[in-house]
Amino acid sequence: MSIVGRSFCLFLLAFGVFSLLSMPPAYAQSSWQTSDAKLAVVIEGLATPYSTNAYSYLTLAALVDETVPSVIRVRYLAQQGEQEIKTALQPYGFYNSEVTHEIIESEDTWTVKYQVNPGPVTTYNQVDITLLGGAQYDADFDKLLRNHKLQKGRPLHHQDYETLKSALRNLAAERGYYDAKFTAQHIDVLRDQQLANVTLTFDSAERYLFGDTVFCCAFISSKLLNRFLDHQSGEPFSTRKLLDLQVDLASSDYFSHVEISPLWDQTSNNQVPIDVRLEPNKRDRYQLGLGYGTDTGARVTMGFDRRWVNDRGHKLSSVVRLSEVQNTGFVSYQIPGNDPARDVYSFNGEITDRSYEEQRSTLYKTSVSDLRHYDRWHRTYQLAYQREDFSFGSDPTESSSFLIPSVQWSLIESSSLPANRNITDDGYRLSIMLQGGHDGALSETTFASLKVSAKWVHRLNDDWRILLRSEVGALRADNFESLGPTLRFFAGGDHSVRGYAYQQLGPTNDEGVVVGGRYMTANSVELDYAIKSNWRVALFTDIGNSMMDWNERLKQSAGFGVRWISPIGPVRLDLAMALDEPSNPWRLHLTIGPDL
């Protein structure tokens, strides 16, 4: 090395030593060594949704609450974070944002503070959405494009753009446009004008049709299985219909496993064959259950079901329920209707023996019923013949027989809380039952009875719900005394007016035994509050009675309770005070079951 070269190297070395010695001590240490301080990041100038997304884009965020690395690395990442925040704001339409930062050092914490000015939001200008193929004549696609959010003048949100693309793809898949694709898809942003032009061209191609549906390995007759189908060969393809078919077959209880597959690789003449593979369920099912209810006391339930009696899908079910208050034996033979997933004919037999608070009754009943589903409504026609032996107190046992035609309509609409599928978010239940008999048609006396019940559940906010319940019944009879207890109205108990015993409310005879009335009403207002995800507390008041005349006084109660949202449904423990019984006001009620 020459003398000049050596002199130059010595000069550089001396300059480096001089520069290092001339640095402030703190800077010289922090540039190359780590500190015991922790790192923090603050973003100012943005609303919560935007700041959250900006924070998620920051590489520096991975070091938060960690020991600060060298200042060089912190400054590099802090500078890089300015562009990262700008990028994070673009999906919300902010393409002209300004970001600055500063590093605030203290002994315990180094804080990287970003100051953000998002600037003006970019809005949609020209939105060109074009459909090609069969979808341009499809009403469902027309409805989708009439309700999307990519409208001129609205803020540009990339999520809305992606949502529309996903909706088009999903609708195409659902409705059988198997070859659908985008031939153009882009957003052109004019930064200086804060405008965006959108171009989407979606070519659905032609819609596929249903081919033949083949059931494999079924023990049920093909005639019955074909009645489950909501489509025919040659009809436009729909994934929704296949999902409904799978649900209906699985819910029939005939099968333990149902698998439905469109055979796209076997498509011919634009028709796709459908393969349905079925595995049989166990033919016989036995049930044994133990329980307790404040209305019934301890109870035992034993059941036997034959899921299919023959290849036509007929079923047999039977159950025996034993409790301190009532013993029941019930058997039913069921025949699938024209729509086997929803309609059923049944032939039923029942024997019920009840003895409670000086009320005694033995009921023998046979019936035939026809259950149909119409959209959201369920309708049940029934023709029953019953004989009832009954007595109240020391009265002699009486017998009465009735041939009773009846009709019942019921409707349930319900949505569940996202955190727990066993509790209702919003919904309602409505039931209307009309029955009667005529003394000229195998009935002891002429009578007519109407009962209407409803319940409504509404979530006020994340924690509070309100539950309203109402039940009203009325009957007219030429000879009320000949009606057995099962045809009269009573009130009181777990599902009626809490604070009063089961069927405690109603007209009484000379011995003070409740004999039931012509009219009945039971109403409830309840508020419950979530203290934990599976625990709620409630306040309620109930009012009602069973009466011979509408102008009789109603009974009221008030109380509080605890609800545990168990895997099998809500378990309710209520303590209610009967306001009209000062000598014995408090009563405990335990119930299990769904809100509706």
Amino acid 448: pLDDT = 98
Are 459 and 432 in contact by the 8 Å Cβ rule? The answer is no
| Residue tagged 């003048």 (tokens) | 153
Are 40 and 64 in contact by the 8 Å Cβ rule? The answer is yes
Q: Does pLDDT of 8 surpass 50?
A: no
- Point out which residues pair with 573 in neighbouring strands: 562, 590
Q: Does pLDDT of 26 surpass 80?
A: no
Amino acid 215: pLDDT = 94
Amino acid 254: pLDDT = 95
Tens of pLDDT, residues 359-408: 999 999 999 999 999 888 999 999 999 999 999 998 899 999 999 999 99
- Which one, of 467, 514, 466, lies nearest residue 493 by Cα? 514
H-helix or E-strand spanning residue 246: helix 239-251
Q: How far apart are the first and last CA of the chain?
A: 95
- Mean pLDDT, range 208-212, rounded to an integer: 95
Are 405 and 385 in contact by the 8 Å Cβ rule? The answer is no
Q: Does pLDDT of 328 surpass 60?
A: yes
Domains and CATH numbers, the chain: 38-117 (3.10.20.310), 123-203 (3.10.20.310), 209-280 (3.10.20.310), 284-592 (2.40.160.50)
pTM: 0.76
Distances (CA, A) of 176 to 139, 223, 297, 312: 14, 27, 56, 32
Residues, the chain: 596
C-alpha–C-alpha distance, residues 258 and 275, integer Å: 11
- Mean pLDDT, range 232-245, rounded to an integer: 94
User: Any idea what the Cα angle at residue 126 is, between residues 122 and 130, rounded to 5°?
Assistant: 130
Amino acid 533: pLDDT = 84
Choice among 58-72, 338-352, 478-492, 514-528 with the minimum mean pLDDT: 58-72
Amino acid 425: pLDDT = 84
User: In degrees rounded to 5, what are phi and psi of residue 195?
Assistant: -130, 155
Choice among 12-21, 78-87, 300-309, 334-343 with the minimum mean pLDDT: 12-21
Query: What letter represents residue 107's amino acid?
Result: E
- Mean pLDDT, range 198-213, rounded to an integer: 95
DSSP state of 375: T
Amino acid 420: pLDDT = 60
What percent of the chain stands above pLDDT 70? 93
C-alpha–C-alpha distance, residues 189 and 42, integer Å: 29
- Point out which residues pair with 589 in neighbouring strands: 574
Q: Does pLDDT of 16 surpass 80?
A: no
User: Rounded mean pLDDT of the chain?
Assistant: 90
- Mean pLDDT, range 539-566, rounded to an integer: 95
Query: pLDDT band at residue 219, thresholds of 50, 70 and 90?
Result: confident
Query: pLDDT band at residue 32, thresholds of 50, 70 and 90?
Result: very low
Tens of pLDDT, residues 141-182: 999 999 888 999 999 999 999 999 999 999 999 999 999 999
Cβ-count burial 328-354 (b if 16+ within 10 Å, e if not) = bebebbbebbeebbebbbbebebebeb
- Which one, of 76, 123, 124, 115, lies nearest residue 97 by Cα? 115
Tens of pLDDT, residues 484-495: 999 999 999 999
Q: Does pLDDT of 99 surpass 70?
A: yes
Tens of pLDDT, residues 410-465: 999 888 655 565 788 899 999 999 999 999 999 999 999 999 999 999 999 989 99
Are 197 and 190 in contact by the 8 Å Cβ rule? The answer is yes
Tens of pLDDT, residues 100-149: 999 998 888 999 999 999 999 999 999 999 999 999 999 999 999 998 88
Amino acid 296: pLDDT = 82
Q: Does pLDDT of 28 surpass 50?
A: no
Amino acid 419: pLDDT = 55
